[in-house]
Chains A and B, each alone.
Chain A
Amino acid sequence: MFKDLFQKKKYAVVPSERTKRDIPEGLMNRCPKCGQIQLSKELEKNLKVCSGCGHHYRLNAWERIAMTLDEGRLFEIDENLVSEDPLDFPGYASKLEQQKANSGLKDAVVTGEGEIGGFPVVIGVMSFDFFSGSMGSVVGEKVTRAIERATEKKLPLVLFSTSGGARMQESILSLMQMAKTSAALAKFHEQGGLFISVFTDPTLGGVSASFASLGDYILAEPGAIVGFAGRIVIEQTIRQKLPDNFQTAEFNLKHGQLDKVVPRKEMKAILTKLLDMHAWKGEPADVQ
């Protein structure tokens, strides 16, 4: 039934020019971590994970959607929301235009409905290539509407986060998005909703200190940097150099902050497994 409903709606099938835009020009690609040179085509086939060292390249929202949703199909919602310049902040309006042109996105999150392993979900995917994934009024509003949609339709919620933090140019309005999204999640959780939060590289500040940390299950991609304060600020505060692995997913796992570090290749399978466990409404199977 859900599928029928689906087909009547307009699909945003992942636009190929948008996904291609982020793939490095040329045929070859050098891994920023280990320096291995590989064919761009091969890298893409490998879900943008280095075959040499396992480095997970950053993905934009549409690449992530293509890998996560069944047939890469998203019924996008609220795609028309755009940032304004409510504070008349120096340089903000022009920077927004530039970010739109560079990323092909209207803001730093894409939201909608789709299916993962056959299970319908409400999904939100952030994109670091738009304004460093920063959260202003639009990101806060779109995430809140996605949460409210999941609450209303009693669907599981999956959010992939990546963000440099709050969008300074919207000052207090961006800070308040933390409270807005968290309050929406409070209602969602009260109702017994399932929220799977996935941290990707990097997620910091206002996003990690609000909705992204409020999942029933919290997953992260290998090597993803996740924390509240940024490395430079912390090093200035404590007047010490931090270890290389500080704030990595593996470091955070060790400190009890995550449920699981999940390689990109296994992400969809893990999500499907979790969704399946929560979709089960039947009787226990006969035990022999």
Chain B
Amino acid sequence: MSSELPFERPLAELRKKIDELKHFGAEKQIDFSDEIARLEERYKQLESEVYGGMSAAQIMHMARHHQRPTSLDYISLIFTDFVELHGDRVFADDLAIVGGLAKLNGMPVTVVGHQRGKDTKDNIQRFFGSPHPEGFRKALRFMQQANKFGRPIITLIDTKGAYPGDTAEERNQSEAIARNLLEMANFGVPIVCVVIGEGGSGGALALGVGNRVLMLENAIYSVISPNGAASILWKDASKADQAAEAMKITAKDLLEFGVIEEIIPEPQGGAHRDKAAQAESIKEALWRNLQELGKLSPDELREDRYRKFRKVGRFGTAELE
């Protein structure tokens, strides 16, 4: 499968041309170094043009890139001593959620995230990263443990949304999400959330009530997927790109709305181009934020979280007749 997105095609074509020229020069023993240098210069310029001015829709496609690193990728790169835990103790082990204990720079933490599949088969058993109620309850169980033992909580958000199926409804999807929102608000340990890919709807927010919410540069976060919005608003799911623009779903937008605290830069061309470098910058941000939050008492942490969410929203006041 080709890894470039449609808007990256001019870059891929130029790269191919440069490679061909190099290959041809080597084969025929002709010196093209001036020409190659000129093209490399052009490539750099084109690269900053393409990636410098990405539209919301282009960012959305980047956030959904099939090679984009998942929660498990980051967990293995950022933490040591990861002990994966399973199950909600009641019904099942929802593989759309992964988590457990790990160490961050030697400090024990609880980490929990949405998990998309690596391939079709993996995706089917992980429901494409869309949790059932037992997934949210599994995450809650891990977080309650963290709260009990005084460990910081780190969540990695990457889902199109909660699973919209009959079995999920029968087991009370609404309650599972709502319960997480309430419980997360109450925990007396630091919570740092990172939106690493797609933050879709209540299924994302159910892991998202943190003291700090960080977002990768090309991640998105919205109340409904742009595809869903397009089909409701314009009865046409193919207008997702248009909806992506209208819905203000990028990290920049969310920083401006006060919904997130920090944007974590990505390598040129997206997180998948250099997973190790990306993991390193996430690790740095996590550590820095946890250091700051570590100074707060449990009550201060609760109050800090309350204030963060309490202020979100924009409205006006009307004159009363």
User: Which A residues form the contact surface with B (CB < 8 A)?
Assistant: 79-84, 86-87, 89-90, 106, 136-138, 140-141, 144, 166-168, 170-180, 182-187, 189-190, 205-206, 208-214, 226-229, 233-234, 237-238, 240, 242, 246-247, 255-257
Contact = CB atoms under 8 A, between A and B. Distances in A.
- How big is the B interface, by class? 35 or more
B313 A141 contact: yes
Given A81-B315, A255-B170, A171 B249 contact: yes
B315 A166 contact: no
Contacts of B177: 178, 209-210, 213, 228
Given A82-B316, A227-B169, 5 more contacts: A182-B178, A187-B306, A213-B178, A229-B164, A257-B175
23 contacts: A80-B318, A83-B315, A84-B314, A87-B246, A166-B223, A167-B223, A168-B232, A171-B247, A171-B249, A175-B202, A182-B178, A182-B182, A183-B181, A209-B174, A210-B177, A211-B178, A213-B175, A228-B168, A229-B165, A229-B173, A238-B165, A240-B166, A246-B166
Contact of A175 (B179, B201, B233, B318): B201
A213 B223 contact: no
Interface of B: 162-166, 168-175, 177-179, 181-183, 185-186, 201-202, 205, 208-209, 221-224, 228-229, 232-233, 246-249, 253-254, 257, 259, 305-306, 309-310, 312-320
B313 A176 contact: yes
B178 A234 contact: no
Contacts, number: 191
Dominant secondary structure of chain A at its interface with chain B: helix
A254 to B, nearest CB: 9
A176 B312 contact: yes
B159 to A, nearest CB: 13
A247 B173 CA distance: 12
A228 B174 contact: yes
A86 B309 contact: no
- Closest 3 pairs (CB-CB, A-B): A137-B313, A229-B164, A182-B181
Contacts of B318: 80-82, 106
B164 to A, nearest CB: 3
A90 B230 CA distance: 12
A57 to B, nearest CB: 24
Contact of B173 (A79, A209, A238): A209
Nearest to A135: B223
B221 to A, nearest CB: 6
B163 to A, nearest CB: 8
Contacts of B257: 86, 172-173
A111 to B, nearest CB: 14
Contact of A234 (B166, B172, B186): B166
A256 B133 CA distance: 14
